Chains A and B, each alone.
Chain A
Amino acid sequence: MYPRQISKDDVLKKYLYLAAVTLVLMLWLLPLGAVILTSVRPASDAAVGNYWGWPSGFDLVKNYTEVFTQTPMGRYFFNSLVITIPSVIGVLVLSTLTGYVLSRYRFRGNTLLFAIFIGGNFLPFQIMMIPVRDLTISLGIYNSYLALIIFHVAFQTGFATLFMRNFIASLPDELFEAARSEGASPLQTLIHVVIPLVRPALAALAILAFTFIWNDYFWAVVLTPSDAVKPVTAGLDNLKGQYVANWSLISAATIAIAIPPVVMFFLMQRHFIRGLTMGAVKG
């Protein structure tokens, strides 16, 4: 049941296939297209129910400028960066350390510890909502950047450890034996041998964690009620007034929010190098 190649000679099949792909792609992108289109409409379009039709005018610059001048989105944006970047770094550092130890050192309880890291991922956030909120209050960090950073790092590290452990375990044993027989300490081995070789994994993990944390809405609502620390996802909700909603503005803000994860992807892309361990072992 592999996806087989469509023969070049079978013209009918070829065009049917192309049509099907186009259709699926259009369905997939339609909501995004509508949001993009709405983000350039004048506010009046949404009010009269022109959601899908041609915009009555183009207010691209006006809408996007207003997002940052008429609303606190700029502040939320800043908050999001302050929360996301340290969280991602924390996740990468911790999961590299845990993954390295769990994959390379045999000790009593190794498997149990690893199982706990994985098992933690299966706990639904919802059941932790109240305890985590209470915990942050008693720690005195409720409604602060630190609350979100700490809990994002904690929740992401479980999966990230699984990811890094398996990646580091796949490196050839001989490299570690060679480093050890040359007198490199475990930390030196980590810094000079492991990290350069797991760069693609770190890049992939950075994108995953960044997107996840950036897009988080749940913890943002639970832990940061104040505008001063609220990230973009929760902030977006604030743009809706009690009685009116400027949908053009909300759409423009939505598009603006989606940009950083995309930028992140392109930044990290150059680290996806295939065959990084080529030449390490065998001929």
Chain B
Amino acid sequence: MTIVASPTPPTALIDRLVGIVGPAHCLFREGELFAYECDGLTLAPRTPLAVVLPATTEEVARIVRACRDFDRSFVPRGAGTGLSGGAHATEDSVLIECSRMNRVLEIDPGNRLAVVQPGVVNAELSQAVAHLGLFYAPDPSSQQACTIGGNIAENSGGPHTLKYGTTTNHILALEMVLPDGRIERFGNRVGEGPGFDWVGAIVGSEGTLGIVTEACVRLTPIPEGVETLLAIFDDVVAACRAVGRVIRSGVVPAAMEIVDRRTIEAVEASVYAAGLPKSAGAVLIVELDGNPVCLDGEIRLIHEACRREGCQAIERARNDEERTRFWRARKGAFGAMGRLAPDLYVHDAVVPRVHLPAILEKICEICDRYRLKLANVFHAGDGNLHPNICFDKRDPDELERVMKAGAEILEACVAVGGVISGEHGIGVEKRDYMHLVFDDSDLECMTRLRQTFNPDAACNPGKMIPTPRFCVEANPRARGYDAVPIG
């Protein structure tokens, strides 16, 4: 890819932005923009025109109006941990970074809710309410860094969504700056506003309907009892079958995660070694929580399910240290894989759970065929796969193989009734694969929703809905993202 020269920075716009947020919070030097050229997805980087860091809703609205006056698009960004490029800018858009809007505005323990600014960090919200016996349930793997605003944009999930649901189940009301600069409130504190469920539509809209500037979120009581089990299987197929049996047994674990042989090997060779036996072909981690009197019975059912699928051994964590050790096999995977090559492509797709064993074989076959280093860790209880592919994007041939394998994986998942994203979102990464799942009329309905809020696609252009649809809008501002540029 050739480096496209940025259009000359419009000094008048910069001056106006500086006037809104102050010089310390408006960035436009080369290095500053360079660091903002991508989020957690390092493919397809694009340098923004400027980066502004507002502190209030009013500032966000004024920034949006300034961008409109200068006919520039704008892109909201949280911590930039997203993996689908949802916070990638274009060369003529202003990046609105919400990291400074990080205050918890109100905590209402009686009604189990909190009002927060979008830049509040997921894990820190849970910490802030822990003394009240409450927590914020959605727990994406990046929870120590990602923000509630970003979670709302992506409808983030996590290991424990099996029982607690994703972000959409925990957002009651929102304040949003619309793409025309108006400030609107949606929903209410009981989570049921009169009229359309705007909140439900905004959550997961990847920042294409406006910029969320405040959220009222549901808090959940910390469960009284927690039990973590680790079951070791000969192979991943048996582990998947055990998951099926657990689901059939009527137990709803808080989390059910599988780590495959390739991941176990990588983890055990790294500093995250969890002490798993060499014979382990797959590991299933099951976490149960709730009323302690019920947990013993549930553990018996899990044991039964695993034994019937011939598990080698099953361990029960006796304390928090052991629980941490069990989870290390899961949580260390990302890091252990990351060390194997300069780049790591964390895929995300969902299949009906009964198809897990077959699809895993298929994914391994695809990656072997493209000579790629692959490992699987996944939210088995949800059927949410995360094939991790290690590569070096400086090697154009390898990069091409990664992209081809990725496309085949998505096609295989869709073929069995799955979808192309369970929690990372579409962004720029998968925009051109939307046709695998949806036909033109389905996408047309999505376009209608976007046009209602964002008629000229000035807010976060080029995301989620594929290009042909985009051109239909005949919007000169929407240039960029013709195809995902590589490299």
A and B co-occur in one complex: no
